[in-house]
Amino acid sequence: MKRRITGFYEDVEGFFVAMLECGHEQHVRHKPPMVERPWVLTPEGRQSKVGASLDCPFCDQDAEQQSD
């Protein structure tokens, strides 16, 4: 389920976490070659993604459990 990013914070290991409008959080790492997210590395890049949509697997799981 797509949810908008409302902000970011850095975890204790130095990775950035996206805060989603649903209240869930999701790590957004730049780990080439598997995951290319160079925008995560700069404050301007992260700010440019506020308001963008990201898949929320937690909301998907909640919706699936409610339909059972």
Convert 28-44 to b/e letters by CB count within 10 Å (16 or more is b): beeeeeeeeeeebeeee
Question: Which are the contacts of 66, defined by CB distance < 8 A and separation ≥ 6?
Answer: none
Please report the pLDDT score of residue 10 as a whole number.
96
Tokens (6 digits) for 44:
């301007």
What pTM, to 2 d.p., does this model score? Answer: 0.86
Quick: pLDDT tens for 20-50. 999 999 999 988 888 899 999 999 999 999 9
Mean pLDDT estimate for the chain? 92
The H or E element containing residue 5 is strand 2-10
